[in-house]
């Protein structure tokens, strides 16, 4: 299975999981008198839509290059990530507002059985995070990474709800709003995670250099090609799950233009066969007596 297809299957996993959990949390929150669980359900509902956006973005990014998009469609991924972050910020704002309203409104202590529901949710969301973050690393997908952090932030809000309900049940009268305070605290975690997701996506859009390990690997693999004497400049930028490379390679200055052309093609083919997710590789040939001055 190629990396795009693997990423798409992971997005489907997120959609199904979030839909099921939103329903469970909403019902448990209403029946169990816990706004922290209802807040959790709100976030899971936004997660459904954000995961659908991630899926659509991954499918769009899979389109081959065309005349209008010679470098492919991969830049849609960080753009989708920005929208996912907007969903997160919106859900955090709604949760914070509703938490403050509930803190000011007298209500009953949540039912004790909601703790069992939350315990199961925490385990499931953390497992989901581990699955999706692993796939995001395997596929180098920015939007999948954002989706993974959705799962982690969901686990965090559930932990906060668990603690809040536990405090309310343990101390009883006067602590009915503990789970509301927990929901308010969880909204802060969501906002923090939003920044953690937003920053790498912004770096990708701005072509910020963050690929020292990949550059080192490219230089190492280049020296395996006959005729390559060394490398000079090497620039890498990311587009979706693919990387575009501009590499200056040093060859014998006495060879013909045709021989230099053949060496550059061998180098390009070798790099693409040895390093995953390299798409466009532009080789600039430099003669070994080339003077930088």
Residues 31-58: pLDDT tens digits?
A: 887 766 776 777 777 778 878 888 888 8
Q: Where are the domains of the chain?
A: 3-205, 212-287
Residues 163-209: pLDDT tens digits?
A: 888 888 888 777 777 877 877 887 887 888 788 878 888 888 888 88
- Closest CA relative to residue 161, chosen from 22, 35, 31, 28: 35
Residues 122-152: pLDDT tens digits?
A: 898 889 889 988 888 887 777 788 788 778 8
State the Cα angle at 183 between 181 and 187, rounded to 5°: 115
Strands 242-251 and 278-287: parallel
> Has residue 228 got a pLDDT over 90?
yes
- What homologous superfamily is domain 212-287 in, according to CATH? Cation efflux protein, cytoplasmic domain (3.30.70.1350)
Q: What is the pLDDT of residue 55?
A: 83
The reported pTM is: 0.68
| Fold held by 3-205 | Alpha-lytic protease prodomain-like (1.20.1510)
Retrieve residue 233's tokens.
């400049």
Locus of tokens 């920015």 = 142
Residue 91 neighbours by CB under 8 Å, 6+ apart? 42, 43, 46, 190
């Amino acid at each position: 299975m190629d990396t795009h297809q693997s990423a798409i299957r992971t997005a489907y996993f997120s959609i199904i999981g979030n839909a099921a959990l939103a329903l469970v949390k909403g019902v448990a929150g209403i029946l169990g008198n816990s706004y922290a669980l209802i807040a959790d359900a709100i976030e899971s509902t936004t997660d459904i839509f954000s995961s659908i956006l991630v899926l659509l973005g991954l499918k769009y990014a899979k389109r081959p290059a065309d005349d209008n998009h010679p470098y492919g469609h991969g830049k849609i991924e960080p753009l989708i990530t920005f929208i996912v972050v907007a969903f997160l910020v919106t859900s955090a704002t709604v949760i914070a507002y509703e938490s403050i309203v509930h803190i000011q409104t007298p209500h009953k202590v949540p039912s004790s059985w909601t703790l069992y529901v939350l315990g199961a949710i925490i385990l499931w969301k953390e497992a989901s995070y581990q699955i999706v973050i692993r796939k995001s690393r395997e596929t180098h997908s920015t939007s999948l990474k954002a989706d993974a952090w959705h799962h982690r932030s969901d686990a965090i809000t559930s932990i906060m709800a668990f603690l809040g309900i536990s405090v309310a049940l343990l101390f009883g009268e006067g602590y009915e709003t503990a789970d509301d305070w927990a929901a308010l605290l969880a909204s802060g975690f969501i906002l923090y995670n939003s920044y953690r997701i937003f920053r790498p996506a912004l770096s990708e859009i701005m072509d910020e250099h963050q690929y020292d390990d990949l550059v080192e690997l490219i230089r190492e693999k280049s020296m395996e090609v006959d005729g390559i004497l060394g490398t000079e400049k090497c620039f890498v930028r990311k587009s979706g799950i693919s990387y575009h490379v501009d590499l200056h390679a040093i060859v014998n200055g006495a060879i013909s233009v045709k021989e230099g052309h053949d060496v550059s093609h061998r180098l390009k083919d070798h790099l693409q066969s040895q390093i995953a997710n390299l798409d466009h590789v532009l080789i600039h040939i430099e003669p070994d007596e080339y003077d930088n001055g």
